[in-house]
């Protein structure tokens, strides 16, 4: 049985994809495909894999967690499954931690090394979706403020924009943590809103056509953010006037983020030093720094349960 780990990134349509998988469980099972989403992965399946206060009270918590995952894997394989799709962006690391750190997934190597042990013995492909950085960070910070983080000050925004850590560094860390594992990089802009195409290209399976497309969990706009602040006793006037999405960066900072993403994409197109494969939909043009026509008005699909994992700043 082949295992496909869809590890995000956050804010790249993961919840829309997970909804698609949930709605098509029956035809996927007929095709030999099984699916684990946040309901399974955050329902205790991975508990103990990572150092946490509660895990310290359990003897051999990590070994027990690895055994639990392997038992579930054997059960899925015994059911006749040929492919298992596991989708949860928190595998790469909590979004709240990334906002606090001002950088992209600083702990991804250590986290994925632990998942490698849990899934050892099964041919594994890792699927990762980068996104244009100025939109990615704007969405991340919007969700953070909506979930209780403080509004980022100029120093924080400058640190994010000037960070030397782009998607290239994230993917490099990922590859070093998973030697010999195939990494498919599927840019958000190239697959936005087409879950069946994403599944087909990610897992090499016949994907059921989606007749009921949905756009789930759009990033909160300025009006929603003002309401969230007022509910916490903070004047909504601290945010800019308007109803559109919030972009807290200056034009110069946006330009720096776009340049970093362009460099990341050039590296991927050039072969990513043999560490990963850029997987694109040939029916579309190569991913760029802006969304396809029409997508900007439909909303940005974000992580399904992010309001439960972002932490107050």
Of 97-106, 138-147, 169-178, 229-238, the least confident: 229-238
Distances (CA, A) of 254 to 133, 212, 251, 263: 8, 35, 5, 14
Closest CA to 16 of 295, 276, 268, 243: 295
If pLDDT is split at 50, 70 and 90, which confidence band does 58 have?
A: low
Distance of alpha carbon 9 from alpha carbon 30, whole angstroms: 29
Neighbours of 28 (CB within 10 A): 23
If pLDDT is split at 50, 70 and 90, which confidence band does 132 have?
A: very high
Extract the runs of DSSP E, i.e. beta strands, from 108-246. Answer: 124-128, 182-185
Edge to edge, the sheet with strand 277-278 lists: 33-36, 83-87, 2-6, 124-128, 182-185, 277-278
What is the pTM for the complete model shown? Answer: 0.86
Q: With contact defined as beta carbons under 8 Å apart, do 289 and 195 qualify? A: no
Distance of alpha carbon 196 from alpha carbon 185, whole angstroms: 16
**Burial class (CB within 10 angstroms; exposed 0-12, middle 13-18, buried 19+) of 219:** buried
Q: Does the pLDDT value for residue 57 go beyond 80?
A: no
- pLDDT given for residue 303 in this prediction: 40
Distances (CA, A) of 75 to 72, 120, 123, 260, 294: 5, 15, 16, 43, 43
Distance of alpha carbon 144 from alpha carbon 313, whole angstroms: 8
């Amino acid at each position: 049985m082949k295992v496909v780990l869809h590890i995000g990134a956050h804010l790249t349509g993961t919840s829309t994809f997970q909804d698609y998988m949930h709605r098509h469980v029956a035809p996927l099972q007929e095709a030999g495909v099984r699916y684990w989403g946040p309901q399974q992965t955050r329902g205790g399946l991975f508990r103990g894999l990572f150092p946490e206060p509660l895990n310290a009270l359990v003897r051999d918590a990590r070994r027990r967690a690895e055994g639990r995952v392997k038992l579930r894997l054997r059960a899925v394989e015994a059911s006749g499954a040929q492919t298992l799709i596991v989708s949860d962006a928190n595998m790469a690391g909590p979004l709240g931690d990334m906002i606090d750190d001002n950088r992209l997934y600083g702990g991804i190597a250590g986290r994925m090394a632990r998942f490698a042990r849990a899934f050892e013995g099964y041919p594994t492909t890792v699927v990762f979706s980068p996104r244009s950085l100025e939109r990615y960070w704007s969405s991340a910070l919007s969700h953070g403020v909506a979930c209780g983080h403080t509004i980022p000050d100029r120093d924080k925004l400058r640190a994010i924009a000037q960070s030397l850590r782009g998607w290239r560094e994230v993917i490099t860390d990922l590859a070093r943590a998973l030697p010999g594992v195939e990494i498919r990089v599927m840019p958000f802009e190239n697959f936005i809103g087409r879950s069946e195409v994403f599944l087909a290209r990610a897992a090499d399976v016949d994907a059921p056509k989606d007749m009921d497309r949905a756009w789930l969990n759009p990033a909160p706009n300025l009006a929603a953010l003002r309401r969230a602040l007022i509910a916490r006793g903070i004047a909504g006037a601290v945010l800019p006037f308007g109803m559109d999405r919030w972009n807290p960066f200056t034009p110069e900072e946006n330009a720096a983020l776009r340049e970093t993403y362009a460099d990341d994409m050039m590296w991927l197109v050039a072969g990513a030093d043999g560490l990963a494969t850029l997987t694109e939909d040939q029916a579309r043009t190569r991913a760029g720094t802006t969304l396809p026509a029409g997508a900007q008005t439909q909303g940005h699909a974000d992580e399904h349960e992010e309001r439960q994992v972002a932490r107050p700043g």
